[in-house]
Structure 1
Amino acid sequence: MSFYQEKLKQVKESVYKNQDQIDAVIAIKGYIDSYYETNLNLDLLSEKQFISKYHLLRLFKKYYGLTPRQYLINKRIEKSKEHLINGSTVTESCFAVGFESPGSFSTLFKTKTGKTPTQFRKEQLSRSK
């Protein structure tokens, strides 16, 4: 092995020494992306990758800057926007993306977007005309 190959190997090992952890976090993110409308919780997500829920929480936050719950809420809000743009009612949109209460959905939506779902829907409908 040449000097450069040896140095490259050392750099790769130091940068990617936690590849299994990275793969687990990517898999959890992919699972959330695919099943965001279902009832997801930390216990279920940790079981999917056979990893401690507390360790998963730390790793997800480290690599994505959000907890799995925060990421799930953001994903649901983005998907609910798509439903509202396509003409769904606020209630239909709420339940379609996995929220259990229109009240909590509206509160979270307004917190994340600055508008209520109804305001957002009306704006989108007026733009499409």
Structure 2
Amino acid sequence: MTYYQTEFIRIRQLVYPNQQQLDGVIGLKRFMDSNFDQDLNLDALSEAGFVSKFHLLRLFKRYYGQTPMQYLTGIRIERAKELLRSGMPVTQTCFAVGFESPASFSTLFKRRVGQTPLAYQKSNFRKV
């Protein structure tokens, strides 16, 4: 083995010591990516990953640098931006990406993007 291969293995074991944990967190991230529009909460995610919610929080934060809910919100906002650009109404977009309240959606969208959903849509609308 070369020096670089040995160093790669050493660093990988140092940063990602447990492959089973890593695989579980990656699986949950993929689950969230494909089910972002569902009613997902920490309890549902921990059941899907067969791990306690507190352990899930620690693992997800360690590997991705943010909590599962922060990640889920990011996915939903990015998808909402796509739908708004395509011309979908704000309220319909809100429910399509998994938010339960248009008011909380608008507040969170403005905090993350810097514009209200309607202002974002007006400035980025593209005809399909």
Shorter-chain TM band: 0.7 to 0.9
Give the deviation of 1:13 after TM superposition: 8.0
Q: Aligned residue for 2:53? A: 53
* TM-score of the aligned structures, taking structure 1 as reference length: 0.86
- Which stretches in structure 1 are left out of the alignment for 5+ residues? none
Q: Aligned residue for 2:13? A: 14
Q: Aligned residue for 2:108? A: 108
Give the deviation of 1:17 after TM superposition: 3.0
Q: Aligned residue for 1:34? A: 34
* TM-score of the aligned structures, taking structure 2 as reference length: 0.87
Bigger radius of gyration, 1 or 2?
A: 1
Count how many residue pairs are aligned between Structure 1 and Structure 2. 122
Structure 1 residue ranges (4+ consecutive) displaced by more than 6 angstroms after TM superposition: none
Q: Aligned residue for 1:120? A: 120
CA distance 1:65–1:13, shift in 2 (3 Å): closer
- Which stretches in structure 2 are left out of the alignment for 5+ residues? none
CA distance 1:11–1:96, shift in 2 (3 Å): same
3-state secondary structure, aligned to 2:100: coil
Q: CA RMSD in A?
A: 2.0
Q: Distance in 2 between matches of 1:13 and 1:99?
A: 37
Q: Aligned residue for 1:99? A: 99
